[in-house]
Structure 1
Amino acid sequence: MSSPSSVDEQRFRKLLSRNVSLPLGVGVLSAVFFVSLITYLLSVIQWVEHTDRVINNANEAVKLTVDLETGMRGYLLSGDEHFLDPYEIAKPRIEVALNTLLELTADNPVQTDRLRRLQALQVEWANYAQSMIDLQRSSGDYRGAVKAGRGKRLTDEIRKQFEDVIETEQVLRATRNEDVRRTTIWSITLYLIFIVGISGLLAYIGRRDLLNLSTNYSANLAAQLASAERLEKQAWLRNGQTQLAEQVLGQLTLNLLGRNILQFCAQYLGTAVAALYVREEHGGLKRVATYGFSREQEELNQTIYSGEGIVGQVAEQARLIRLDAVPGDYFKVSSGLGAGLPHSVLVVPTSDDDRVNGVIELGFLRPLSERDIELLELIAGNIGTSIEAARYRQRLQEVLAETQQLNEELQVQQEELKTANEELEEQSRILKESQAHLETQQVELEQTNEQLAEQRDAMDKKNTELNQAQIQLEERAEELQRSSKYKSEFLANMSHELRTPLNSSLILAKLLAENPQQNLSAEQVKFAESIYSAGNDLLNLINDILDISKVEAGKLEVIAENTRVDRLVDGLRSMFEPLAADKKLAFSVEVQPDAPGLLFTDRQRLEQVIKNLLSNAIKFTEHGAVSLTITAQPNDHIAFSVKDSGIGIAADQQESIFEAFRQADGTTNRKYGGTGLGLSISRDLATLLGGSISVDSVPGQGSTFTLVLPRQYHEFGETPAAPLTFHPTPVTPAPVAVAVPVASAIPAVIPRFADDRDKAPFATRCILVVEDEPNFARILYDLAHELGYMCLVAHGADEGYDLAREFVPDAILLDMRLPDHSG
């Protein structure tokens, strides 16, 4: 007769075999089912993705057709070749897009036929578009061809075909999605029914057999449970010691060691908050690592004195303290969801060679167990040893650094001593040679003393002559200064005189380039445009020379007036945003909240300086951003900072760029253009306005030019007025002109110009031209008539004032250098 244990074992093996083999078979069937289902779904997904690719490519082709039509229409309307850029880009890409669609729809004959029809229509439209472009280029009657409607019919047919292609693909995608949804639902439903049935049968039979076996195993399990708990506790303790040993391995600093220990406690013991304190030389405790602290908690109680608080008592008594009833004002555990008190707190001392060298404070959100305390008592000694090793390594590194520094200093001193010894040997040799010469020179000196007495008398005579020569040099320096001033005045006058005929040439070249009579050839128009472009460059150079000459000659006037910062900013933004967008640069203007809203300065000169800095920033920046920032400065000043991400300026060239005709280097002139006068003029204007310009730049990273000005301008030697107060509707005072002496001139007698003053009252708008040069006045008079204006001409400021008061013209063209007054 079989024993009960043998019977139970046979029944258990039978139960085990059934409960393993049956789920295994079901698992294999499930795997086959899911592999088949996933394979089917992947196949359908690939076809859906194929359909999406067809739709996306079709939409891209539609966009390209729109770009083709937009580019052609833009060119036909404007005649500007730049409008053909999207047309030329989209032309080859539309052919590639249609070929790609043909390859993707090769399995669908209906779609293939539509796409071949689209290719034919696209070729026909391209021929039509090219004919329209050719007509525009040859100034033909393209409008009549457009009105015929052929292009619109082709475009409508192309769009309809594209819509049919996209609609067919969308229907196909919806059909496939519906099929896969229905198949998946039915497959999973049948599979679930099958699994539920098998699982229910297996559960019923298994429960019946397990209930019979459970009684027999209860006694054995109860006995094994106590043994397993003991083994688990020992394994848990050993595993904790092993993991801690891994965390403290390596050459770790004291802070990193502390973080690793606290992270181990958090992961292995489940602590919510923790802190590690290390004893210092004076006996106090310093917190070196934390876990779960907020920023405010990190800043509190970083140092604990001997015997202070629970941590200090643990260090002093060298014993563990456990808190299960935490007081209400104790340290709180906080997170993003809330805050609360820890359930239990454990404070453990760490030691090395029976000497307490640190304390670990741990907060738990659960009750403490005996194995928690047992583990901490086991690892406290290991932690203390690791702390002492880290402190020893830290002291060793400090001593090593000091040793290396002393070694370097010793090497330097040895080199210096070696050099000094060589110099001493050389000096000893020279002294020996000198001693031999001294004896010879002593005899010569006696003879020389006699000669020196004679030369002394001669030197007295020469000193008198030198004093007279110095007086003559001072007189010549004054003459040179006057000559330089005359030169600057002459240069300023000549720059002005050059501008008058140059302006005439520019206006005539512009009229020729516009070719209103259509009697010039394309080449002649191109020549006129070249003359106009070169004349503009020359005019800019003359303007720069005129400005710098005025500054050098002391003839530049400062007209100070109230200037609103917001209006100044709006004008600069509207001027430079299109320039930055043309170069694909980000452009921003920022007025800081502390910046003043009102300035009392020369707005024209201020705008000239800032415009020059912004123009340079955009010119020398290939990619990135350009910004203007306005901030308040101490002592009632304001700063305008222009920052770019351009080529940058080397440190040794940051002063030379402010010199006339100088830029960062020679190649910059050729690459970026310019005369090199802009920054020189800007610096002089900033100085004239009572401010300064500084630069901060790193090559390859960009530059920042900062213009600092006083908020209220005052002349040199003038006591500054009270600070300005910005109001929403300020009363603008009359502009204050800083008068600079101007050389007087005797106006020449100029015959009266036969203008339109006798035709008043005027039937059209009227322009007043104040110009003392007759030929240029005649050109402006003719240009005004050509533009449909009546024109009055005055050859002096007084006459212009009288005409302006009598006729009240709609606009005035004013020469800045008139024979009787300054413009």
Structure 2
Amino acid sequence: MSERQLLTTVSIREEVDVVACRQCAKRAASWLGMSPLEQIRVATSVSELARNIYQYAGQGVFHFYLLSDGRGLLSALGFEARDKGPGIANLDRILDGSYVSSTGMGIGLRGAQRLMDEFEIESSPQGTLIRARKRVLPSRPLPSRASIQAFQDELRREGAVDPFEEIQVQGEELVITTAELLAKQQELEATNLELENTNKGVVALYSELEKTAQELQEASESKSRFFSNMTHEFRTPINIIENISKMLLSGVDGALNSEQLKQVRFISDAATELSQLVNELLDLAEAQSGRMDVMPARFNLGGFMQQLQQFSASLAPRYPQVTCRVHPPVQDVTLNTDGNRLFQILRNLISNAFKYTPKGHVEVRVFQPDADHLEFVVEDSGVGIAEQDQARVFEEFCRIRSPGLTHIEGTGLGLPLARKLATLLRGRLSLTSTLGQGSRFYLTLPISYEQGEVELSLSGTTVLVIDDNEADRYVVSRLLEPYDPVIIEAEDSRSSIDKLQGVRPDIILLDLDLPDISGEDLLASMDEGMRRRVIVNTSKTLSEAERARLAPLCHAILSKPQPDYDEALLRSMDNLSRRHAHER
């Protein structure tokens, strides 16, 4: 929570006080090291508000503050303007830009709002209160008491202002602003020319990409068919080898000597391992091709955790230096999903945890983060996974070399299959890990697989879509159209900044690949309140490390190609709109 320290106060009683208030704001901004353009913005905003107070309320007062963040660092220059006038009629329409006045009333108020980073206003027949702030970047230590006192003394020494001198200063500021606008215009013209010259190439590139995507899809389908057909063909000879090995080991056709027993056990173990590989390949091929069926059924979480406990206990004798504990749920929950597929996912995660923990512990927990989801966590104290390898462990046949582990059983298909099954159950599988300290795998999925349509209402909710792809903006707009939001579009970071500051939308859909400033940099520049309204909406393939870095900065992260994208987007917006309504 930010704290504030009074810097100075200016009373508005005469017209010259409007000029004094403007100069005070500009000097404060300059004293804090803001850029010349930022100084002009603060001074102009204060000037417009002070003139409104003098013109419509007769008199009032401005309090200027230094604001600090939770770390005690200077974060913003703020002011509070009060008057006891008759209040402002049509305030909401003035602020959203829909009010039209023949006298120009309201234009200054809306302009002042757009020039500040944060702007709040309360108005009634008893008077008006306005609070606003301009961020100081980067954050820095607060000025000392001695420095603040020196600044206050300087303001008192300068005393009354010269209106003619102020007019000259404003003229110089106008020249600076005009020069900047001219530079921006030239930059925009150059960009438009470049876009026009490359448009044909982009169209051709899209056509080539579409063709390539189709070829990749066909290749993927061919691979899945090959895996499926071959694994079915492999099953019959493997079953024969397994069954004959069991017959020989049982001594049905006569006892075997010790050497023969050893040889047949090798054959039996190899056949079992090959059978496991075939089964995993078949499951993976079915999951990739979309032919794998989900058979949801109701079952209790408590009984399911007991099954995991029994499975873990069956593995324990093979790993005598590893302890395992499956924690019972805090409260029992009835699930409606495919219990066999869920067990298959967690079986793979628990088996991996044992394999990569030479000595230590494995723990399995389950949490309920909200009314509709469960989160399973499989944690180990094993060798861990380096950050650069954390995305690779979900690749098929990928085996990460681990120091101290010379032989790891398995095929390299367990984790890729687990992630595919998690997606099939409308969930997600992720991990965090530190090399040498262990890993945590997180499986989040809905309690009920059969979820109906989202009962979403966005009436009156402002949604800002920041995406350079016009087609993507169109798709999002059409998807949200039945829910009646107010949709604002921005095709790059620069054009979104005014909308972010002037409108402060309720929900922000942010693409990461923007042509000017990256979406991640734009997200980092937002204040905390604004970041909590952001849903990252990207087609960029994100590593687990990138997701972990972005997650604390936004409300949710969505990938455009995911199979349940529409449903995931609507549910994220539903959660965000409900939270925003509760905060209001």
- The structure in which a higher percent of residues are strand is 2
Q: How does the TM-score come out when normalised to structure 1?
A: 0.30
- The structure in which a higher percent of residues are helix is 1
Higher relative contact order (CA 8 A, sep 6+): 2
